[in-house]
């Protein structure tokens, strides 16, 4: 079964450093998403991406965050200057056709620890 692949599985970074989280969505999917889950809390939407642009973003997704699809396969989330409160599990997801809504396929997540 096709998978969404995220790398790395765990990233430790110093506060103030830039970090890039990488995702390879399922090849025929057109919509891409990032979600965040702070330990012990609910999963929160960050951003959705379609046709090489952001289609929706939450209030969490401020100027410190950016997304990019640099080539035909990767989808990245960049945090420019990490803060302690950015420590969380970050999930990438993709979906095939938004309105038919077969549901998202999530990756296994990247655990980001900011020290």
Partner 1 sequence: AQTVTQSQPEMSVQEAETVTLSCTYDTSESDYYLFWYKQPPSRQMILVIRQEAYKQQNATENRFSVNFQKAAKSFSLKISDSQLGDAAMYFCAYREEYGNKLVFGAGTILRVKS
Residues that bind partner 1 (CB under 8 A): 31, 33, 35, 37, 41-45, 48, 55-56, 58, 89, 91, 93, 98-99, 101-109, 111
Q: Are 80 and 64 in contact (CB under 8 A)?
A: yes
Q: State in angstroms the smallest separation of the CB of 99 from partner 1.
A: 6
Nearer to partner 1, 81 or 113 (CB): 113
d(CA 49, CA 92): 11
| Nearest of 59, 55, 87, 86 to residue 69 by alpha carbon | 55
Question: Which lies closer to partner 1 via its Cβ, residue 15 or residue 43?
Answer: 43
| Collapsed DSSP state (helix, strand, coil) of residue 25 | coil
As measured in angstroms, the least distance from the Cβ of 107 to partner 1 is: 8
């Amino acid at each position: 079964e096709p998978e969404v692949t995220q790398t790395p599985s765990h990233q430790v970074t110093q506060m103030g450093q830039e970090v890039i989280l990488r995702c390879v969505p399922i090849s025929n999917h057109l919509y891409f998403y990032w979600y965040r889950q702070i330990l012990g809390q609910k999963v929160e939407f960050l951003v959705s991406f379609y046709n090489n642009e952001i289609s929706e973003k939450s209030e969490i997704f401020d100027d410190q965050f950016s997304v990019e699809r640099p080539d035909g396969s990767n989808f990245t989330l960049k945090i420019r200057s990490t803060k302690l409160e950015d420590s969380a599990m970050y999930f990438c997801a993709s979906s095939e056709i938004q309105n038919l809504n077969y549901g998202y396929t999530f990756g296994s997540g990247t655990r980001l620890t900011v020290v």
